[in-house]
Amino acid sequence: MGVIWTLIVGGIIGLVAGAITKKGGSMGWIANIVAGLVGAYVGQALLGSWGPSLAGMALIPSIIGAVIVVAVTSFVLSKLR
């Protein structure tokens, strides 16, 4: 059950990051989950694990990290097209 909960929270974090950057609608739900999970890792590595936590992820650093991941990914993909 822990893995499912982590995927759900990762998807929500990715969805929030996509809404902030206005790139989430074109990504799809699998990409939102991946962006949320990778963003959670990046955000907590850069900013630490402060603030409220859910499913082992500090929410505020995770959302900031996911915004960074979504922005960088969309920038790289736009340059490849």
**80 burial type by CB count under 10 A (0-12 exposed, 13-18 middle, 19+ buried):** exposed
In Å, what is the CA distance from 18 to each residue of 1, 3, 43?
26, 22, 15
pLDDT digits (tens, 9 = 90+) for 64-78: 998 888 888 878 877
CA–CA gap between residue 46 and residue 8 (Å, rounded): 23
Q: Are 23 and 74 in contact, with CB atoms under 8 Å apart?
A: yes
Q: Identify the weakest region by mean pLDDT among 20-29, 57-66, 72-81.
A: 20-29
Whole-prediction pTM: 0.83
pLDDT digits (tens, 9 = 90+) for 29-58: 777 778 888 888 888 888 888 888 888 888
